[in-house]
Amino acid sequence: MATVRMADKRVDEIVRNARKKYEEVNKPMEFDTTMTDNLFTEAYASKLQSYYLWMEEHFPEIPVTKTSIDAVKLTYLEPSDREDEEDSLYDRSKDCDLSTAQWVPSTFTDRHGTFTIQVELDNPCLQHAIQVDNFNNELRDKRWEYEREVRDLCYQFQTLNQALKHMPALEKLCDPNDIARVHEKVDRKKADEIMQDVVDDKGQQLKEVLLESSLLGDDNV
């Protein structure tokens, strides 16, 4: 077998491919956009319609400028989890996607085009968004730890050959060319002949210099 060093670039490739395998079997939780659709409809569908009718009745000459939104920003108050702040509440927000974009009067959005709905902490859409975020954040942290362990494992071996001997499944994460080199049969005699040819070709002048130096009595070499 040919010896293949466990170089940094090989470790990086193994970690990169290991991440892909991890993501194949550990899917992130997807947000259910129908939750936002329902909240938007319940909270604002009738209000928006009333606004259009009011504008048409009182200011028919003024066109209603509209903004397209593809998400809703939920704002809410969250109690502090610190013992010395039992009565404290903090402003929090979650961005929740809609299944399809909605047109709303621009006066209902802020200068960034954000449509905001104030909700209670127990709102179903908000609770779902928090659950999705918590799950995916935990999954991300586990993936980082997994990648660190894979990298640490690789650096326990000086060569890819050693790593594959103790963990053959690692082959699935390696460059096929590296695997081919590992399994390549090496003709030692032929290899020695090739190296001798190289020495004879490239090292002739060096041998002559060393010989002359020896004849001159130089004992420093």
What is the span of the domain harbouring residue 214? 188-221
Task: Decide if 139 is inside a domain.
Answer: no
Task: Decide if 88 is inside a domain.
Answer: yes
The residues that bridge with 109 in the sheet, in sequence order, are 115
Give the domain-ending residue among 74, 99, 121: 121
Give the domain-ending residue among 121, 138, 163: 121
Residue 82 has pLDDT above 80, yes or no: no
Number of domains the chain is built from: 2
Task: Give the burial class of 154: count Cβ atoms within 10 A of its Cβ; 0-12 exposed, 13-18 middle, 19 or more buried.
Answer: buried
Task: Decide if 201 is inside a domain.
Answer: yes
Q: Give the per-residue pLDDT at 103.
A: 92
CA-based nearest residue to 40, from 51, 28, 48: 48
Task: Decide if 15 is inside a domain.
Answer: no
Residue 209 has pLDDT above 70, yes or no: no
Task: Decide if 100 is inside a domain.
Answer: yes
pLDDT in tens, 39-63: 999 888 888 889 989 999 999 898 9
pLDDT in tens, 3-44: 899 999 999 999 999 999 999 999 999 999 999 999 999 888
Q: Give the per-residue pLDDT at 79.
A: 84
Task: Decide if 207 is inside a domain.
Answer: yes
C-beta of residue 10 within 8 angstroms of C-beta of residue 175: yes
In this prediction the pTM is 0.72
Average pLDDT estimate for 172-186: 85
206, 209, 213, 219 alpha-carbon torsion, rounded to 10°: -10
